[in-house]
Amino acid sequence: MKGIERIPGNIRAIREAISELLDVFSPFFQDASDAIRVKICLFEALANAFIHGNAQDPQKRIRVRWEADGGHGDFWVSDEGPGIPPDLLQPGNSAAEKEILSENGRGLSMIRKTANRLELLQDGKELFFGFDWGKTSDLDR
């Protein structure tokens, strides 16, 4: 299965899109941790796109492309902003990893701790993350 969502720039639409994507993906989940891993990553990626990428502009949209089968699920998330600095994706580089009591910079590190694959594409303008169902993340080890 595959699809593309173009999500309007408001909190309610983003929450609804995440809920709908989780419903679409739920037949593929092999255990309960798959559902929460996908939910964490969707929330962090879409909140990052809405808040930082699109500066909460209601006129700007978030694009989510996805693919799923019995073995894996993949997401590509992009917004209308300038993109994510590539070094922020490296282990130890986010604000929350440098200072555990930082109130910012925790989202990307949470994606890295829960997804099985994570990559920045299109010069930082597209965030890719993927899951192997039933397998915990080893990106942060």
Partner 1 sequence: MQVEKNGNTLIVLPTGEIDFGNSHQLKDAIKERLDASIQGVLMDLSRVSFIDSTGAAVFISLIKILTPRKGELVACSLQEDVRFVFSASRLDSILQIFPSRQQALEYLKARDM
Residues that bind partner 1 (CB under 8 A): 11-12, 14-15, 32-33, 35-37, 39-40, 43-44, 47, 50-51, 96, 100-104, 106-107, 110, 113-114
CA dist 46 and 88 (Å) reads 16
CA dist 17 and 49 (Å) reads 14
Q: Which is nearer to partner 1, 4 or 100 (CB)?
A: 100
Angle between helices 32-48 and 107-114 (to 10 degrees): 150
Q: How far apart are CB 131 and partner 1 at their closest, in Å?
A: 14
How many other C-beta atoms can be found within 10 angstroms of the C-beta atom of residue 141? Answer: 7
Q: How far apart are CB 2 and partner 1 at their closest, in Å?
A: 26
Q: Which is nearer to partner 1, 2 or 12 (CB)?
A: 12
How many other C-beta atoms can be found within 10 angstroms of the C-beta atom of residue 91? Answer: 12
Q: How far apart are CB 52 and partner 1 at their closest, in Å?
A: 11
